[in-house]
């Protein structure tokens, strides 16, 4: 291993540790109960009612983090572009965690008739509009950062044909949530109040990821 490769490996490792630590910190912001320590059974039950929303939030943040992990497997070299895009992903993750918690806390509380209680209070329809718009934009920015990372991996001069194919697949995979998030944000901003729920149901379009992968593999078969 040359001195340059050794140095790049160290820099890549330090970047990955920073990204992993930032995502771990983001997950701590989802801790149920926050700084509140329950001192009665009623308070304990109220906090535990937030577990389902916290679990969904945890899974979504972990999904985004794993996207960066898979990118590193395809892009072992360090570069300024990879560094900037990784830091951008972390920046958006720290923003994403707040609307993420609001959306799922409010949604599960409403769908359960208040059984899965939430501390999130939406006082007016405008609050729901702002919540969905912020969530959609943050979702788009995070997924878009991963799209750029994978496209960068595909453009590397020393990337083999199979590596470029895998990077292309992942870039397409993350393009779907980026577009869905943008569509949801625009819907939240533009539709009448009575149709605001569409902004949430549009995330069902994430099911298009599977067909998109199948289409890409047909277009780019294994050599």
> What pLDDT was estimated at residue 6?
43
Q: Could you report the per-residue pLDDT of 179-205, keeping only the tens digit for each? A: 999 999 999 999 998 888 899 899 999
Q: Could you report the per-residue pLDDT of 129-172, keeping only the tens digit for each? A: 888 999 999 999 999 999 999 999 888 756 678 888 899 999 99
Region of poorest pLDDT, from 44-58, 174-188, 206-220: 44-58
| Contact in structure between 94 and 23 (CB atoms under 8 Å) | no
Please state the pTM of the whole predicted model: 0.84
First to last CA, the chain: 30
Range of the domain at 210: 3-219
Give the contacts of 48 (CB within 8 A, at least 6 positions apart): 32
Handedness of CA 174, 177, 178, 179 (dihedral sign): positive
Q: How many domains does the chain have?
A: 1
């Amino acid at each position: 291993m040359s001195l340059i490769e050794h140095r790049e490996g160290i820099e890549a490792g330090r970047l990955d540790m920073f990204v992993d630590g930032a995502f771990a910190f983001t997950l701590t912001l989802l801790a149920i109960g926050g700084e509140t320590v329950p001192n009665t059974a009623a308070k304990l039950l109220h906090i535990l009612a937030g577990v389902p929303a916290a679990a969904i939030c945890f899974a979504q943040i972990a999904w985004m983090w794993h996207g960066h992990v898979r990118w590193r497997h395809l892009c072992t070299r360090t570069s300024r572009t990879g560094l900037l895009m990784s830091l951008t992903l972390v920046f958006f993750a720290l923003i994403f965690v707040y609307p993420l918690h609001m959306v799922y806390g409010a949604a599960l509380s409403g769908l359960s008739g208040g059984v899965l209680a939430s501390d999130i209070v939406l006082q007016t329809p405008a609050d729901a509009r702002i919540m969905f718009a912020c969530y959609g934009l943050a979702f788009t920015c995070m997924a878009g950062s991963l799209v750029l990372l994978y496209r960068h991996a595909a453009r590397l001069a020393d990337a083999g044909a199979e590596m470029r194919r895998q990077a292309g697949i992942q870039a397409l995979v993350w393009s779907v949530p980026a577009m869905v998030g943008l569509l949801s944000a625009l819907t939240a901003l533009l539709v009448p109040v009575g149709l605001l729920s569409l902004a949430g149901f549009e995330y069902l379009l994430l099911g298009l990821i599977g067909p998109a992968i199948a289409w890409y593999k047909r277009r780019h078969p294994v050599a």
